[in-house]
Structure 1
């Protein structure tokens, strides 16, 4: 089975898939930068607010890294085909209860969906990292690896904040 996969894997196909998947991740980050400020305003737990603000800053830094990859590859990101990630981000926003009487429900909804979003990004970044290592030009791999490290840290941060919130 392994030899069949290797025979059909050309550098052109790999590059095409890499660009498409990188575009999906980039577009998800665009959606996040649009929605995170609203979640920061809605959060009532101070450490959650700080984690969301940190995630927003990190997302912006990751977008710069992803744009750099596109520039190095002399490609533009595709602005479609990211319905799944956008749906999760939209669902997260819709599930947050914008009601002053329901702080716990709102904060826990934010934490739940941020955990889902971060873990989706970890999985996507891991796959991109594997593909980048197979591409001829290695700086892609370093930039993707940096993004992967950031999303792993943020996934851990939201897990920590959730534990802290449930203990308070």
Structure 2
């Protein structure tokens, strides 16, 4: 297949790229939102339960912001066939519900949430970049708020993992 190098992207094509990425993260966040309560329920470390609850609340806020973005640009979400967040969450983070050592499941949850947040950080960064090209000022603010929450959650789960392991 011959490599394709696009010329300067026109506004319609940029909007198509924007919607593609917005749909992926939106559908992933909605799927994640449906599974957060289960993760909170099976966490054994109290600090992790609290962090997952905060994470769950942030996911809800991010979904609401994305719905606001769809309204601003006059679009509706479309289902995605390939969804990286759904693919990671679908297998229940590879958690073993018969695990006799709770720390293993808790640390796996922390690892997978951080992986998800890295996907989100990258997705929001891409959306912000495209949003700037499209001059979506109000949308850029909404995306920046979601980006900041994902970055903060990534740091939070890293600190909780350290606390859990070192008990400092």
Q: TM-score when scaled to structure 2?
A: 0.91
Matches within 5 A, 1:8-157: 8-91=8-91, 93-99=92-98, 101-157=100-156
Contact 1:27 1:82 in 2 (8 A): no
CA distance in 2, matches of 1:141, 1:18: 12
Distance of aligned partners of 1:6 and 1:134 in 2 relative to their CA distance in 1, 3 Å threshold: farther
Instruction: Say how many residue pairs are matched.
Output: 164
Contact 1:28 1:82 in 2 (8 A): no
- Note the C-alpha offset of 1:6: 8.0
- Note the C-alpha offset of 1:99: 2.7
Cα shift readout 1:119-166 (whole Å, capped 9, x = no counterpart): 111111111111111113311111111110110011111111111111
CA distance in 2, matches of 1:103, 1:17: 42
Runs of 4+ in 1 over 6 A off after TM superposition: none
Q: Give unpaired runs (5+ residues) of structure 2.
A: none
Higher helix proportion: 1
Distance of aligned partners of 1:110 and 1:94 in 2 relative to their CA distance in 1, 3 Å threshold: closer
Q: TM-score when scaled to structure 1?
A: 0.91
Contact 2:45 2:106 in 1 (8 A): yes
Distance of aligned partners of 1:116 and 1:8 in 2 relative to their CA distance in 1, 3 Å threshold: same
Q: Give unpaired runs (5+ residues) of structure 1.
A: none
CA distance in 2, matches of 1:147, 1:71: 17
Q: CA RMSD in A?
A: 1.7
Q: Residue 8 of structure 1 aligns to a residue in which SS?
A: coil
